[in-house]
Amino acid sequence: MSFRADYSNQTGFFNPATFGHEVTLIGCGGIGASALPILATLGIPKITIWDPDMVEPRNIASTILFGPDDVGHAKVEVAKRELIRLGVEDVTIYEELFDPGKHGNALSGIVISAVDSMAARKEIWEAVAWNGPVPLYLDGRIGGEQFQLNIVNPTDPDDVTWYAEHQLFDDASAAPLPCAERNVVYPSAALGSVMASRLALFSRGKPTGRMIFLHMGTLQVLQY
C-alpha cells in the first residue's frame, strides 16, 4: 500500500486533491534535485523528469536529493525512488536529453526548466512558447549565492515578448564564476521553495509575479 500524506493543514495554500496539472521538470541537477523533494512534500500528484546523467560525488554537495549510495546511478531513477517514497502518486522518467524536435509535442501541464545552459533553455522555450497545453513555465537559474526565477505564461503575448527579448541570450554573455563559487546547496533549496510557492499561488488563481531574484549572501531581493 503506497504512502498517503495528510495535507489537511495546508489546503488553504495548496490542495493536491484539486490540482489538476502534471509538472514536468527538465534537468535533475542542482536546481531540479533540490526542488523535487519540496514539490513532492507540497503534494504535486504527477511529476515527469528528464535528465540523461548519472549521480556524481559533486551532486551530493549541491542538492538535497542525492546521497553517497546514489553515486553512479541514473539521476532520474534515484529521483523516482525518492518521489514515490515521499508519496507522489505518478512519476514518469526519461533518462535522456529533452529534444524539442523529438519531444516538444509531448509537453503539457506546468513545465520547469532546471538546466544549466542558455542553449538548453532556448530549446525548451521552443517547445513551450505558444503551447496551449502548458499554462505555466518556470525557468530557474542559479549561480554562486544567487538565484533567479522567471515565471511565464507561454500563451500571453506580453510574457512571451518579455521572456524572449530579455531573458534569453547566448551562454557567452553569462558572467563567469570562479570554479569554487559556482554552486552551493542553499540557493538551490531556496529556489525550489520559491517554485513551490508560485505553484501554490497559481493553484489558487493568484498572481505569481514574473521574475524573482535573490542574492542570499546580501539578502538583496528583486521582484517584478
Residue 185 lies in a domain: yes
Residue 11 lies in a domain: no
Residue 72 lies in a domain: yes
- Whether residue 9 contacts residue 96, with contact meaning beta carbons closer than 8 Å, is answered with no
Residue 142 lies in a domain: yes
Residue 4 lies in a domain: no
When pLDDT is cut at 50, 70 and 90, the band that residue 133 belongs to is: very high
DSSP string, 47-99: EEEE--PBP-HHHHTT-SS--GGGTTSBHHHHHHHHHHHTT-SEEEEE-S---
**Residues for the chain: how many in total?**
224
Give residue-wise pLDDT tens across range 165-181: 999 998 776 666 555 56
For the chain, the domain total comes to 1
> Does residue 216 carry a pLDDT above 50?
yes
Residue 195: domain span? 20-223
Task: Read off the pLDDT of each residue in 187-195 and give the average, rounded to a whole number.
Answer: 96
Question: Which three cell numbers, joined as nine digits, stand for 15?
Answer: 490542495
Residue 127 lies in a domain: yes
**How far, in Å, CA of 113 to CA of 200, rounded?**
18
Residue 195 lies in a domain: yes
* Better-predicted residue by pLDDT, 81 or 184: 81
Residue 15 lies in a domain: no
Specify the CATH number for the domain of residue 65.
3.40.50.720
User: Which are the contacts of 11, defined by CB distance < 8 A and separation ≥ 6?
Assistant: 17
Distances (CA, A) of 209 to 77, 139, 149, 206, 222: 33, 13, 10, 9, 11
